[in-house]
C-alpha cells in the first residue's frame, strides 16, 4: 500500500516478548505542528515511563517490553526518536501464565462516535489472577483502568496527545490520515484473543 501522509501524527511502537513470543502494540500521538527529533525522543521517553511505572504493574513477569520507538508519520522520510535510555522491562506480577494469544481489549474513545473515531490496544501480559470465568474480575478491571488512564496522562505531558489515527472513513481511504485525541478509555471485560501472538506466529 502506498505511503499515506499523516500530518502531525507520530507512531509509538512497543515491542514485547512473552513466553518467547514476539508481540507488539502500536499507539499514536498528535500535535498541531510537525514533530521534531527531540520531541520524538521525549515521546519515546514518556512511553518508557509508562512501561516502567504503569504497564509492568498489570503484566506478568514472563512478559517483557523489549523495544520502544517513535516515528513521524507526516512524511515517508519522517524522523525516528529512540528513548534516551532503555533496558528490557519485565512485568511485576507472578508468572501465572495464560496463552500468549489471551488478551483484553482496551478501547480508546474520542469526542466522536463511529468506528473511524475509536481505537483499541490489546494488553500484553494478562494475569490469570485478573481473570474469572473468561472475564476480567473487579481487580483486573481496576488495575487496567488505572494503567491505561496513566498512558493518556503521560502522553499528554509531551508535545502531543494520545490519539486514534483514522486512515479510512466510510470504507474509503482518506487523502491524509487524521488523528483524533483520546478523551477516555474503556475496558472490555471479555477475554479476547490475538492469533498473531500464538507461538511461532510472529507479531
Rounded to a whole number of angstroms, the distance between the first and last alpha carbons of the chain is 19
Smallest Cα–Cα separation from 122: which of 29, 191, 45? 191
Mean pLDDT (the chain, rounded): 93
For residue 26, give the 3-state DSSP assignment. strand
Alpha helix locations (H) across the chain?
A: 37-53, 138-156
Using CA atoms, how far apart are residues 129 and 139, in angstroms rounded to an integer? Answer: 9
pLDDT-derived band at 1, boundaries 50, 70, 90? low
Average pLDDT over residues 30-39: 95
- The pTM assigned to this predicted structure is 0.94
The stretch 144-158 carries a mean pLDDT of: 98
Q: Domain boundaries in the chain?
A: 9-193
Q: Which three cell numbers stand for residue 195?
A: 492469533
Q: Which three cell numbers stand for residue 86?
A: 532503555
Quote the radius of gyration of the chain (alpha carbons, Å).
17
- pLDDT above 70 (res 183): yes
Beta bridge partners of 65: 16, 89
Q: How many CB atoms lie within 10 A of CB 120?
A: 12
Select from 75, 18, 20, 81 the least CA-distant residue to 47: 81
All cell numbers assigned to 189: 471485560
Alpha carbons 65 and 121: distance in angstroms, whole number: 15
Q: Measured at the alpha carbon of residue 19, what is the angle toward residues 18 and 21, in degrees to the nearest 5?
A: 60
Nearest Cα residue to 152 out of 73, 47, 26, 57: 47
pLDDT digits 0-9 by tens, 88-132: 999 999 988 789 999 999 999 999 887 778 999 999 999 999 999
Q: Which residues are CB-neighbours of 108 under 8 A, at least 6 positions away? A: 118, 119, 120, 121, 162, 164, 182, 185
Taking residues 140-152, what's their average pLDDT? 98
Using alpha carbons only, what angle is made at residue 200 by residues 196 and 202, rounded to the nearest 5 degrees? Answer: 45
Amino acid at each position: 500500500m502506498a505511503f499515506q501522509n499523516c500530518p502531525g501524527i507520530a507512531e509509538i511502537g512497543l515491542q514485547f516478548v512473552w513466553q518467547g513470543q514476539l508481540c507488539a502494540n502500536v499507539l499514536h500521538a498528535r500535535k498541531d505542528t510537525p514533530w521534531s527529533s527531540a520531541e520524538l525522543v521525549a515521546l519515546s521517553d514518556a512511553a518508557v515511563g509508562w512501561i516502567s511505572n504503569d504497564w509492568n504493574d498489570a503484566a506478568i513477569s514472563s512478559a517483557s517490553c523489549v523495544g520502544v520507538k517513535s516515528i513521524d508519520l507526516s512524511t515517508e522520510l519522517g524522523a525516528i526518536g529512540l528513548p534516551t535510555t532503555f533496558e528490557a522491562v519485565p512485568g511485576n506480577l507472578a508468572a501465572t501464565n495464560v496463552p500468549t494469544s489471551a488478551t483484553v481489549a482496551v478501547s480508546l474513545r474520542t469526542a466522536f462516535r463511529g468506528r473511524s473515531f475509536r481505537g483499541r490496544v490489546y494488553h500484553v501480559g494478562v494475569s490469570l489472577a485478573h481473570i474469572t470465568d473468561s472475564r476480567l474480575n473487579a481487580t483486573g478491571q481496576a488495575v487496567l483502568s488505572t494503567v491505561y488512564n496513566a498512558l493518556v496522562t503521560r502522553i499528554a505531558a509531551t508535545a502531543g496527545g494520545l490519539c486514534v489515527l483514522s486512515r479510512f472513513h466510510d470504507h474509503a481511504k482518506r487523502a491524509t490520515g487524521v488523528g483524533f485525541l483520546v478523551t477516555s478509555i474503556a475496558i472490555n471485560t471479555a477475554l479476547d484473543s490475538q492469533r498473531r501472538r500464538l507461538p511461532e506466529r510472529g507479531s
